[in-house]
Amino acid sequence: MPKPDSDLRTRTKGYALRVIRLYARLPKTTEAQVLGKQLLRSGTSVGANYHEAFRARSKAEFAAKCGDVLREIEETAYWLELLVESGIVSTGDLAELRAETDELTAIFVTILKRTKSNPT
């Protein structure tokens, strides 16, 4: 079963580290911490789930785990939006992380489409 380049493992781990650093910089208000903990959970799950997908024993397992990755990325995007729209973090402070979120979303949508369209 063909697997995406291990570079994506490094990239998703780097993404998790960026989320961790963002969480550490958030204000200590209740709102910021509640949103931040949700962000921390979903943002670090992206890399964890992709690491599991990379080691999948079957194409079906790989597709399922990549689906989990995509769900976590989309959830992370939601928490990032709330942080900005609530005024807790400025748009500019999250621009790079949001761009990476969009890129990872596109990558995993493509991976899932190719995996599902290629029966072998």
Q: What's the CATH number where 43 sits?
A: 1.20.1440.60
For the chain, 120 residues long, give each residue's pLDDT as a single digit of tens: 444 456 999 999 999 999 999 999 999 999 999 999 999 999 999 999 999 998 999 999 999 999 999 999 999 999 999 999 999 999 999 999 999 999 999 999 999 999 888 866
pTM listed for this prediction: 0.90
The answer to whether residue 2 sits within a structural domain is no
pLDDT (0 to 100) of residue 2: 40
pLDDT (0 to 100) of residue 119: 62
CA 111 to chain centre: 14
Tally of domains within the chain = 1
Which residue range is the domain that position 66 belongs to? 7-117
Distance CA 73, CA 39 (A): 10
Distance CA 83, CA 66 (A): 26
The answer to whether residue 55 sits within a structural domain is yes
Distance CA 76, CA 72 (A): 6
CA angle at residue 41 from 35 to 46, to 5 degrees?
A: 125
Residue 60 CB coordination number (10 Å): 11
